[in-house]
Amino acid sequence: MIAAAPQVLQNPCCEFINRLPWGFFLVVHIALFAVAVFLAYRSFEVGGQGLGWGFSLFALAEAMYATYHVNVTQFLFAHTVAEVLDGLAFVVLFAAAVGRAGVRGAERALGAA
């Protein structure tokens, strides 16, 4: 249990976050979801499957955060699963971007030869 973990401070930092309205977090998650869907759609449209799936995973993570808002999952569970999905999304995005950079480098090398 997290509550049983050693506590360094009696009043931990940044209590202001608890005073933000729930609507703020919903707006943030839906805005990030919209951006991710747009980028995934554009990537798929131009044939960038790796980038498309990476952004899709990011969008799925944002939808996972929203399960807490509709009271389908617990706060900690939703955030844990969403962060795992975010991690996977970053790995896929980085791999796709590195692969793309490698191809461009090879193209340049061939062009110079």
Contacts with other proteins by CB under 8 A lie at: 23, 26-27, 30, 33-34, 37, 40-41, 43-53, 56, 59-60, 62-63, 66-67, 69-70, 72, 99-100, 102-103, 106-107, 110-111
Count other C-beta atoms under 10 Å from residue 20's C-beta: 10
Q: How far is the CB of 57 from other proteins (least distance, A)?
A: 10
Please spell the DSSP secondary structure of 51-78, one letter per residue.
HHHHHHHHHHHHHHHHHHHTTSS-HHHH
- Is residue 61 within 8 Å of residue 37, measured between CB atoms? no
Nearer to other proteins, 4 or 70 (CB): 70
User: 67 or 88, CB closer to other proteins?
Assistant: 67
Taking CA atoms, 113 is separated from 64, 69, 106, in Å, by 49, 57, 11
Smallest gap from Cβ 7 to other proteins, in A, equals 33
Query: What DSSP character marks residue 46?
Result: T
Residue located via tokens 């952004």? 55
Residue 5 or 26 having the CB closest to other proteins: 26
Residue 76 or 103: the one with the smaller Cβ distance to other proteins is 103
The strand ranges marked E within the chain are: none
Least distance (Å) between residue 79 CB and other proteins: 16
